[in-house]
């Protein structure tokens, strides 16, 4: 749906953003359907022609739709799992995105999410609760940033998923693994939006939800002494002993 310039900008962003790459994987199965709708709407029984959309959606409309989606997702219990099944934009006078989802019971234990808390899922979050064989947690007494690092031994090193709470933005951060000999390795990095992640008492559901982000270290699990969450300016937000 993007023009050449937009596609180039998106691809450039995607090359350095693990979160967007993971989300793109979720939508990969929809490409044939979207292509069929865009190129040959008559091939779908009962399909209406795709109207020309002359303008981008107004920020207020788009923001309202995203807020509504977030509110509905957060009303579900932490046992509900969400998988995006379809998306389309067909409305005369302005585009609107529609998502079809399914949910099912999912007894995922562990982690720092209390029973009954809203628990929308993502690939990193699923991995955090389902595949991480070991987890270590810490909260910095000064910054009050809380972090849990889930670890999974791999032949190539250590697979990690970070759960981060009570971090405010805007700022850019990294997760650094520090070995027992003092060697350091950047595991992953991300941007924190202005509203932050895992903010207790936040009215914005997006700000209230923790951040879950994948990462990987070449170090063996037994060689890792600790993890540190740092800003790009070098400030240490929290240290997690391994």
Spatial distance between the Cα atoms of 1 and 224, rounded to a whole number of angstroms: 44
85, 188, 191, 217 from 172: Cα distances, Å: 32, 11, 4, 19
User: Cβ distance 87 to 97 under 8 Å?
Assistant: yes
In a domain, 115, yes or no: no
Average pLDDT value for residue range 23-35: 65
* Domain, as residue range, for 80: 56-107
Are both 61 and 140 inside the same structural domain?
no
Is residue 225 very low, low, confident or very high in pLDDT (cuts 50, 70, 90)? very high
Judge if 30 and 135 occupy the same domain.
Answer: no
- Tell me the pLDDT tens digit for each residue of 166-218: 999 999 999 999 999 999 999 999 999 999 999 988 888 889 999 999 999 99
Q: In terms of domains, do 171 and 226 share one? A: yes
Write down the residue that tokens 């997760």 correspond to.
Answer: 175
Say if 225 falls within a structural domain: yes
36 and 134 both lie in a single domain: no
- 114 in a domain, yes or no? no
- The answer to whether residues 94 and 155 belong to one domain is no
- Are 14 and 98 part of one and the same domain? no
Do 131 and 91 lie in one domain? The reply is no
Domain assignment of residue 112, yes or no:
no
Q: Are residue 226 and residue 128 in the same domain, yes or no?
A: yes
Any domain includes 116: no
Span 137-146, average pLDDT:
96
Nearest-angstrom CA–CA distance, 4 and 190: 26
3-state secondary structure of 166: coil
Given this model, what pLDDT does residue 111 score? 39
Q: What is the pLDDT of residues 64-88, one digit of tens each?
A: 555 655 555 554 433 334 333 333 3
When divided into structural domains, the chain yields a total of 3
218 in the same domain as 128: yes
- Asked whether residue 140 falls in the same domain as residue 233, the answer is yes
- Whole-model pTM? 0.52
Q: Is residue 13 part of a domain?
A: yes
Shared domain check, 164 and 215 = yes
Same domain? 84 vs 46: no
């Amino acid at each position: 749906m993007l023009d050449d310039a937009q596609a180039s900008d998106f691809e450039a962003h995607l090359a350095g953003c693990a979160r967007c790459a993971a989300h793109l994987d979720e939508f990969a199965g929809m490409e044939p359907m979207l292509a069929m709708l865009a190129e040959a709407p008559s091939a779908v029984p009962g399909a209406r022609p795709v109207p020309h959309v002359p303008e981008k959606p107004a920020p207020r409309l788009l923001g309202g739709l995203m807020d509504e989606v977030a509110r509905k997702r957060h009303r579900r219990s932490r046992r509900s799992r969400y998988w995006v099944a379809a998306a389309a934009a067909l409305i005369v006078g302005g585009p609107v995105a529609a998502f079809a989802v399914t949910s099912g019971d999912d007894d995922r234990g562990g982690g720092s999410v209390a029973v009954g808390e809203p628990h929308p899922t993502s690939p990193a979050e699923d991995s955090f609760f389902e595949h991480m064989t070991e987890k270590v947690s810490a909260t910095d007494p000064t910054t009050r940033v809380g972090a849990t690092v889930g670890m999974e031994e791999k032949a190539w090193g250590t697979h990690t998923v970070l759960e981060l709470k009570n971090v405010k933005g805007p700022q850019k951060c990294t997760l650094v693994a520090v070995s027992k000999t003092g060697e350091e390795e950047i595991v992953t990095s991300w941007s924190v939006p202005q509203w932050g992640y895992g903010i207790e008492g936040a009215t914005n559901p997006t700000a209230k939800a923790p951040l879950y982000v994948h990462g990987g270290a070449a170090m063996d699990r037994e060689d890792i002494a600790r993890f540190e969450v740092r800003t790009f300016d070098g400030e240490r937000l929290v240290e997690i002993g391994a």
